[in-house]
Amino acid sequence: MLLYNALWGLLATAITISAAPAKINERSPLDAGELLPRGGHGGHPQDNNDPAWLLCGVDNRKDRSRWENRKWRRGYDLRSDYEDLSQIPDTGVVRRYELVLSNKVIAPDGYAVNKMVVNGQYPGPKLEGCWGDIFEITVYNRLSNHNGTAIHWHGVQQLGTNHMDGAAGVAQCPIPPGGKMIYRFRANQYGTSWYHSHFALQYTDGVVGPIVIHGPTAGNYYKEYTLMLTDWFHTSGFTLFWSEVFGRPPFPESKLLNGKWKFPCDSQDPNCHPKEGGLHTIKFEPGKRYKIRIVNMSTVFMYNFWLQGHDFTVVQADFVPIRPFRARSLNIAIAQRYDIIVEANANTTTQKNFWINMQTCGTAACTNAGTGIIQYEDKSKHKSKHKPIELPPPDTDCVNLSLTCQDPPKELLEPILQRTVPPPPPDLLKELYPSFNSWPDVDVPFGQSAGHKWSLGTDTFFVNWSQPTYSYLGLEGPSSRRGRHPRPQLPDSYQPITLNTPGQWVYLVIIANFAQAHPGKLPIPVDHPIHLHGHDFVILAQVTGAQYDPHNPPEFDTTNPARRDTATLPGSGYLVIGFQAKNPGAWLVHCHIAFHSSAGLSMQVLELPDQIIPTIQKNDWRYPDRYKDQCRAWRKAWDKNPAKNDTLHDSGA
């Protein structure tokens, strides 16, 4: 097990970023004042079915960087400060959605498995709205096996609405079996994201779907597509959890692009349904530009993404618009998103179809990476609907791509809305050490324990679903009487980082390759995609192949550094992130490899704890009662769960 992990770490870190051809990863030649690539977008003015127009009343097809609607008193653009609620469009629109979670046998790749679906489908339906809208989503828990649930809206900052963050055991009790919960929040940001269950390993089993919030874009385009990439397991995540704890991290059997692929299964196998599954196909008209929103919804695997015969321009990382840069391929860590613009300019002399490629990062060759297809539309030919799509020829062009497992160099992710960060004083740099901890006997030296859990701070993370952080903060129980908000007394396993000073900058140094100091903890040099709820953090340093030395810290990038909600911690180095304490709440910070997070690689930030409950009472005065009702119903349901001891081994997050 350890050997496997160590090898995995080496594999993941030995690859260098340098192999890219020269024209790749260069910034587009744009002036500071000019964020748009030149050239027409190719729209048809007579039939405007552009989603920005249809949904938001914004016609920006000539200049996608603008965001204007005649009904608004002012216009908005890429420089509007989306972290200031007075600077975002006041649309007055509420987007209502209903999500019903249930169990179902599905075969997205042609292999039937018992999974969890949203509104009967996998992935779940797209939640779509406009910058400034309110999203109101009613989640119905119709799952079997006593499962509770909670849905997290990944990357949404939840300014003033921490209680809508969907973190079970932190900001809410799970939605009990048969129950429902209404989530309501303002989309202060725009771009691409996803929603997923934050209850144990439910998202691995299928409780996921895309979120699209329309807003301005740093580049023109004709149409847009959303691509969701994920690894896919033929066993339930709840079962696989134990192979993480007592063995090696489970290996996915398959991968999916927008919920589809063809798994090469044995036709004798009763679960094999070769007629199901397939290759997701998108259409290009020659000469047009397309915006593609890419989301990585994986559980463990990192894939590289590239398009046969095309390079592209990256315009947004997570919910942060960036100065456009050219790229040939991207490694997208779990939970990260990129919006890219692709010009349909491939050489179609010998082929009309091109592969959309997904390949496990760190692998050198480019075999079997094709996961979906770009099909050039040929308007001249009579189309036959039933003609199967012709597979593109193998992609020979990919041998020289740098299929690294790391994020693009942070210098390339230059936010358009600028922020300058105060340099971290040494005493504010809080060090965190992701490691294996002995388990189940936490006190024996590491080599002597039967299994392991993970930790990020001192202890393995564990929150009791029946006793969330909010209960300790006084949202229920005798201490919730008006005017009495005692200091939180959270159990150690809740791993709080408390930030009491409004406006204070906080800096986390997350170190993967530390020297082992504690006999019960083992450093494991693997990459972890680190996600913080409630914020876009800045990346002050992201270092591969070096030890962190607090007495001789690296040069921190403080002038408009890269900003996003998920960044890769390199297994051979460390990551330094910073954020400002200004959004009261209990916010998780965790690894987004779902097995790691379920095995304890998580902490929580208690940001301005004195303001958390008052902020909820002010913004949503009915919530405290709903919280109490839901916790009561959950505890009652949980008591009846015969598997409750078993499932309590999940960290809760």
Ligand X SMILES: *[C@@H]1O[C@H](CO)[C@@H](O)[C@H](O)[C@H]1NC(C)=O
Q: Does 180 bind ligand X (CB under 6 A)?
A: no
Among 147, 469, 480, 580, binds ligand X (CB under 6 A): 147
**Total site size for ligand X, rule CB under 6 A:** 36
Bridge partners of 194?
A: 210
Q: Does 466 bind ligand X (CB under 6 A)?
A: yes
**What angle, 0 to 180 degrees and rounded to 10, lies between the N-to-C axes of helices 609-619 and 623-639?**
110
Task: Let me know if 333 is exposed, middle or buried by CB neighbors in 10 A (0-12, 13-18, 19+).
Answer: buried
Residues 203, 299 contacting (CB under 8 angstroms): yes
Question: Alpha-carbon distance 205 to 598, whole Å?
Answer: 14
Among 5, 192, 296, 406, binds ligand X (CB under 6 A): 296
| Among 132, 57, 33, 167, residue whose Cα is nearest residue 589 | 167
Q: Does 245 bind Cu ion (CB under 5 A)?
A: no
Query: What SS3 class is residue 295?
Result: strand
Residues 6+ apart with CB under 8 A from 254: 109, 111, 231, 232, 233, 234, 261, 263
**Total site size for Cu ion, rule CB under 5 A:** 4
Residues 214, 52 contacting (CB under 8 angstroms): yes
Give 298 or 353: the residue with its C-beta nearer to ligand X: 298
Residues 330, 339 contacting (CB under 8 angstroms): no
Among 119, 281, 560, 641, binds ligand X (CB under 6 A): 641
Q: Mark the segment that binds Cu ion (CB under 5 A) among 221-229, 396-404, 524-532, 642-650.
A: 524-532
Give the DSSP letter of residue 559: B
Among 236, 449, 469, 651, binds ligand X (CB under 6 A): 236
Residues 362, 403 contacting (CB under 8 angstroms): yes
Question: Alpha-carbon distance 189 to 409, whole Å?
Answer: 24
x/- site string to ligand X, residues 489 to 508, per CB under 6 A?
A: --------------------
Give 429 or 591: the residue with its C-beta nearer to Cu ion: 591
Shortest distance in whole angstroms from residue 400 CB to Cu ion: 30
Q: Which of residues 520-539 bind ligand X (CB under 6 A)?
A: 529
Q: Which of residues 312-331 bind ligand X (CB under 6 A)?
A: 331
Residues 6+ apart with CB under 8 A from 32: none
Other CB atoms within 10 A of residue 90 CB: 12
Contacted entry of Cu ion, ligand X, none for residue 49, CB cut-off 5 to 8 Å set by kind:
none
Residue tagged 């119905």 (tokens) = 140
User: SS3 string of 390-421?
Assistant: CCCCCCCHHHHCCCCCCCCCHHHCCECCCCEC
Question: Alpha-carbon distance 564 to 566, whole Å?
Answer: 6
Q: Does 442 bind ligand X (CB under 6 A)?
A: no
Rounded to 5°, the CA angle 614-619-623 comes to 80
Residue type (1 letter), 44? H
Give 596 or 649: the residue with its C-beta nearer to Cu ion: 596
Question: Alpha-carbon distance 139 to 155, whole Å?
Answer: 19
Closest residue to ligand X, Cβ-based? 302
Shortest distance in whole angstroms from residue 239 CB to ligand X: 7
Give 137 or 591: the residue with its C-beta nearer to Cu ion: 591
Bridge partners of 452?
A: 438
Contacted entry of ligand X, Cu ion, none for residue 643, CB cut-off 5 to 8 Å set by kind:
ligand X
Shortest distance in whole angstroms from residue 202 CB to ligand X: 7
Q: Does 485 bind Cu ion (CB under 5 A)?
A: no
Give 367 or 559: the residue with its C-beta nearer to ligand X: 367
Give the DSSP letter of residue 371: E
Q: Mark the segment that binds ligand X (CB under 6 A) among 303-311, 313-321, 577-585, 620-628.
A: 303-311
Shortest distance in whole angstroms from residue 20 CB to ligand X: 11
Q: Does 367 bind ligand X (CB under 6 A)?
A: no
Contacted entry of ligand X, Cu ion, none for residue 492, CB cut-off 5 to 8 Å set by kind:
none
Among 528, 531, 564, 649, binds Cu ion (CB under 5 A): 528
Q: Does 575 bind Cu ion (CB under 5 A)?
A: no
Among 417, 581, 591, 605, binds Cu ion (CB under 5 A): 591
Q: Does 212 bind Cu ion (CB under 5 A)?
A: no
Question: Alpha-carbon distance 93 to 136, whole Å?
Answer: 10
Task: Let me know if 557 is exposed, middle or buried by CB neighbors in 10 A (0-12, 13-18, 19+).
Answer: middle
Among 593, 599, 603, 612, binds Cu ion (CB under 5 A): 593
Shortest distance in whole angstroms from residue 608 CB to Cu ion: 28
x/- site string to ligand X, residues 368 to 407, per CB under 6 A?
A: -----------------------------x-xx-------
Q: Mark the segment that binds Cu ion (CB under 5 A) among 206-214, 274-282, 510-518, 589-597.
A: 589-597
Q: Output the six-digit token pair for 563.
A: 């900003």
Contacted entry of ligand X, Cu ion, none for residue 126, CB cut-off 5 to 8 Å set by kind:
none
Name the CA dihedral angle for 593, 194, 622, 83, rounded to a multiple of 10 degrees: 100
Note the residues at the interface with ligand X (CB under 6 A).
Answer: 145-147, 200, 229, 236, 238, 296, 298, 301-305, 331-334, 347, 349-350, 358, 361, 397, 399-400, 464, 466-467, 529, 635, 641, 643, 645, 647-648
**Binding region for Cu ion (CB under 5 A):** 528, 591, 593, 596
